[in-house]
Structure formats: structure tokens, C-alpha cells
A and B are shown apart, each in its own frame.
Chain A
Amino acid sequence: MSLYAEKAVVLRTWKLGEADRILSLLTETHGKVRAVAKGVRKSTSRIGGRLEPFSIIDVRLWKGTGELQRIAQVDLVHGHSALHSDFLRLSKASAIMEIVDRIALEEMDSSVLFRLVTRALGTLNEGDSPLFLGVFLLRLLELEGFAPQLDCCGICGSSEDIAYFDIETGEVACSAHAGGFELSRSVLDLLRRARAGRTRELLGEQDPDDSRVFETIAARYAQQSFAVELRSLRGVIL
């Protein structure tokens, strides 16, 4: 049995019994943790509001012998409450929580992932951008070793006339080797800028058609690579 302190993002919560909740947390240094918060759905609970998804918390966790840890104490660092305010932002933030919940492992070194997730939530809380989710997903893919290959055709190696992106292989293809998503010049450029890490600049882009294709490609490729289907994205991608 041990008690330890961590910084964590609340990824998801589920009701448990009459008044408790199970939480999935991404901690800064212990990877994903599943923990029980006792009595938080009762009206008398003072901490229920600190345990909503998207919240960043300072938490003390009890690790016993069972599968689930237990929340002993919690302070809210940031609630990201603007994310509740419109359905599109809520969907995007939920998609981040959903995918991270699926790919994060227990007891892994999670500091890089934690930083990526908390930054993304902070950015989205400040304001939405049509390219936000795609940029996040491409960062996540890169972090997990699935960076797409965007330079030359995966079949013939030509760097001319790139016109497709194949979500199965994560590679682009030239127009002679058609397959996968059709890629306009401008969408290819967006993908390449995302790969180059030009995040701030991309978040300022506003073209609605290009961004929808960009988001869809990133989301489909992420779903394919991580072998998940993201329910949160139903209202967001093509």
C-alpha cells in the first residue's frame, strides 16, 4: 500500500454504484491510472467538480493491492471550462480524451504525452481552429512512431505529382499510383507544415474545405494506426 502525489488529466469518468465514479487519468509520470473516487456524485461532495473530464488536477492516490487505485485528495489546477461551451469543441476535446485513454499504458513514462495533451487542451480552451484536431493527431502519431511519409510516392519514389494519401500505409502516392485519399496541393502543404511542427501558423489557417479534408485524413489515419474507432468524431470528420 502506498500514497503518492501526481499531476494528472482526467480523461474519462464512469458512474460506479450509487454515488461513486471510476476515473481514467493520464498522470504525468505513472502513465494511465484507473482510480475510484468515493461519494463524488452525492450533493455533499466538495470534490466532484474537480473530477470532470479535461480537468488538470493535483491528486493524491492510494495504490492498494486491487486493480483500481483510490483518490485520496484532489486540487483543481485547470478546469478548461470553455471546452463545455460548444459542441464542436466538446467533440474535439472528447476525441483527444478518447484516443489517449485507448493508447496510454499503465506505468509508462508519460511525461511527453502528458505535456502534449495538457498543451492541446489549453490551446483548445483558448479558442478553436479548423485544423486543431488534425494538428494534434499528427503530433500524437509522430510521438507514437506513426509519422506519415509525405515526401515521395510510396510505390515509385517519385517526389513529383503527389496526389494521394493512403491511410493503410501512411504514405503519399503520385497520380500514376492512385490509391487512398485524393490530396490537393494545398492539403498536402498543410500536412507537410504540420509534420514540420509549424503548429502556431497552422492554427491560424481558416480555409473550411481544406481543413475538413486535412482533419479527416489525420483522423482516419490515426484511427487506422491505433486500431480504434473514435466515437467522439462522428460529428467532426467527413
Chain B
Amino acid sequence: MIYPPTVQTLVDEFSKLPGIGPKSAQRITFFLLKADQAEVMALANAILVAKERSQWCSRCFNLSESELCPICRDSTRDARRICVVEEPRDVVALERTGEFRGYYHVLQGSLSPIDGIGPEKLRIKELLQRLAGPEVDEVILCMNPNLEGEATALYLARLLGPFGISVTRLASGLPVGGDLEYADERTLGKALEGRRSVL
């Protein structure tokens, strides 16, 4: 390779990031090499601090800077409802709608055998533990409207059947194959409002 080893290492590290191919990795690398020392330091520092301070909320597995995330600490929310999502970014999307006042549970992924992701790799056990108590009477499944999301929702629906709680899913209107996080607030809010029982 024609780059000095340190530069090549940086290109290689960037290419490991999701959605970044070798060409983008080179572009980012050269952008940083041309940037001010202070800007680069700020970026490096932001990465380190975020990595150091963030952890998974011990109750809902959302991103948090403390044992419990701000949502789980908010006792004014509706403890009867839990909205199950795939990723922390879905919590952000749903919070933006302002339509949901319950709590969340972040699975940290979706079922995808082809990527080696089975039920044991998701925070499903922890969800079941949360449902053992008497408070929760509705679980809303808010998976992405794609193959993996669909499979995950159906798997959970079956698993939650014996709990005797209401299990609902977002109403259609979300385009199949799309990402939940790209849905606009109104569409997502409406889907939440019009949720239907799956059991």
C-alpha cells in the first residue's frame, strides 16, 4: 500500500465502521489529516468520553450515563405500558412523537439467523423478568417493518402469550422495508395510536 503505515491503520479502522466503504474511509482520513489539531482532538476526545461514560440502562437497556436512564428514572410515566424496540435510536424516534408516556425496553437488535443472531443474543430474558410483576398490562411491539423486525415481533408475540397481558403492534401505514427511525413523527405517532392486538 502506498500510504504510510499510520495513515493506513486509520483508513483500515474507519472501513470497519458500518456503512463506510474503503473510499469513504480514505476521504474521512484525509479530511482529518488536513483539519486543525484542535478539531481532531475534540473529535478524539468526544469518542473517548462517550465510550467511557455511556452504559446500558440496567432496566430498559437504552443508552444511559447512569445505572438507570432518564426515562426509567421518570416516575411520572405510565408503568402499565412497555414499548419494545430494537435499538436506542428507535426510542429517540418514538419520544419525538410525544404520543407515548410509558416505558421502553431495548432489545439491542433483531432476530437474524443469517447474521448469527438468535433469541439468546437479544435482551429478551430481561424483558420477561420485567413482565413478571403485576404492573405491566400492555406490551407494544415497535419493531422495524422489515423481515428481521417482523420475525422478532412474531417471536415475542408467541412468547408473551402466556403472560396474559395485552400485546399490540404498531398499525400499518409504516412502509414495509423502511427503517422506523426515518418515519416522520406524524406517521409514527399515528401508527402508535392505531396499534392493534396481535394475540
Contact = CB atoms under 8 A, between A and B. Distances in A.
Interface in B133-170: 145-147, 150-151, 154-155, 158
Given A42-B182, A43-B187, A52-B147, A97 B114 contact: yes
Indicate the member of B18, B113, B118, B154 with the most A CB atoms within 10 Å. B113
A95 interface: yes
Contact of B113 (A44, A81, A91): A91
A86 interface: yes
B136 to A, nearest CB: 24
Interface in A1-17: 12, 15-17
Contacts of B178: 40-43, 45, 48
B192 to A, nearest CB: 15
Indicate the member of B177, B179, B184 with the most A CB atoms within 10 Å. B177
Contacts, number: 87
Contacts of B118: 87, 91, 234-235
Interface in A77-119: 81, 84-87, 90-91, 94-95, 97-98
Interface in A44-74: 44-54
A19 interface: yes
A32 to B, nearest CB: 16
Contacts of A81: 150
A149 interface: no
A71 B76 CA distance: 49
A203 to B, nearest CB: 21
Given A42-B182, A52-B146, A86 B155 contact: yes
Interface residues of B, number: 28
Interface string B166-195: 000000001111110011100100000000
Interface residues of A, number: 37
A231 B115 contact: yes
Contacts of A98: 114
Contacts of A43: 174-175, 178-179, 182-184, 187
Contacts of B174: 43
B114 A232 contact: yes
Contact of A45 (B150, B155, B158, B175): B175
Contact of A49 (B18, B116, B155, B176): B176
B113 A235 contact: yes
Nearest to B116: A231
B111 A90 contact: yes
Contact of A48 (B114, B115, B175): B175
B87 to A, nearest CB: 13
A40 B183 CA distance: 12
B151 A16 contact: no
Given A94-B113, A231-B114, A231-B116, A53 B175 contact: no
Contacts of B151: 84-85, 87, 90
Contacts of B155: 86-87
A55 to B, nearest CB: 9
A40 B177 contact: yes
A94 B177 contact: no
Interface of A: 12, 15-19, 40-54, 81, 84-87, 90-91, 94-95, 97-98, 231-235
Interface of B: 18-19, 111-116, 118-119, 145-147, 150-151, 154-155, 158, 174-179, 182-184, 187
For the complex of A and B, 7 pairs with smallest distance between CB atoms: A48-B177, A49-B176, A231-B116, A232-B113, A91-B113, A94-B113, A94-B114
24 contacts: A15-B18, A40-B178, A41-B182, A42-B178, A43-B174, A43-B179, A45-B177, A46-B175, A48-B177, A48-B178, A52-B176, A52-B177, A53-B114, A81-B150, A84-B147, A84-B151, A85-B154, A87-B113, A91-B113, A95-B113, A98-B114, A231-B113, A231-B114, A231-B116
